[in-house]
Amino acid sequence: MSDRQREKWDRTYSGDGSYFGTSPSFMAQHAMSVMKNEGCEKVLELGCGQGRDTAHMSWAGFDVSAVDYSEVCCRQVSEVVEEVEAVCCDIRNGLPFPDGYFDACFSHMFFTMNFSMEELKSMVCEVYRVLRPGGLAFYSVRSKKDPHYQKGEHVFEEVWEMNGFQVRYLDEYDIRTLAQRFDLVSVLEFEEGALPKHLYAVTMRRPPR
């Protein structure tokens, strides 16, 4: 994630305390339903933003650890959800948690930021490390069926910039590539926002052994 993109998000979040609203995303509702059925307790959220999903997961009884690279976001999350300590870090450099610490990992639109495919693979390996055997990983990404795909300025690989925001678009081949050592449980398609955006909701499981 470039410093320019970090500054762009900091300015955006500083100017609007609920930029993406306060209701939980479809992705969070989907993940919480599965996590409850699976008896998950300790949950890691990557790219928590201003905490709209963080808050609802915490209020639903999950023990949430939230991570974002924006100090503005981490401060806002801690103010909204006192039970959650938001950690500011760049997970391309690793996660500050021990092996097998979490029952589940959740991220909504985090892997769709301006990461290279090699960076995504590395981050998915780090998610694998901090999940317990049998743990679940949920993430959503913009798909190549999205109306903004290949619109705006091409940055690199499958990353495109519009209105100052750089977005990576993925297809099902990319999702299978990222699954690596995980079992791929499901890939759902859904739409979000006014455009609407077209997204994939991915669920993976770290094998029990």
Q: Which tokens go with 158?
A: 């499958």
Q: Judge whether 92 and 123 are in contact, CB under 8 Å.
A: yes
Burial of 181 (0-12, 13-18, 19+ CB in 10 A): exposed
Q: Judge whether 28 and 45 are in contact, CB under 8 Å.
A: no
Partnered with residue 142 across adjacent β-strands are 169, 199
Separation CA 130–CA 137 (nearest Å): 11
Res. 20: pLDDT tops 90: no
pLDDT cut 70: percent of the chain above it? 89
SS3 at position 187: strand
pLDDT bin (cut points 50, 70, 90) of residue 108 is: very high
pLDDT digits (tens, 9 = 90+) for 76-105: 888 888 899 899 999 999 999 999 999 999
Q: What is the mean pLDDT of residues 121-128?
A: 98
pLDDT digits (tens, 9 = 90+) for 47-81: 998 889 999 999 999 999 999 988 888 888 888 88
Summary mean pLDDT of the chain: 91
pTM: 0.91
Number of CB atoms found within 10 A of residue 198's CB = 19
Q: Looking up tokens 């109306």, which residue turns up?
A: 147
The predicted structure's pLDDT at residue 206: 98
DSSP state, residue 146? S
Separation CA 34–CA 84 (nearest Å): 21
pLDDT digits (tens, 9 = 90+) for 145-155: 999 999 999 99
Give the alpha-carbon dihedral of 138, 144, 148, 152, to 10 degrees: 110
Return the domain boundaries, the chain.
3-205
Architecture of domain 3-205: 3-Layer(aba) Sandwich (3.40)
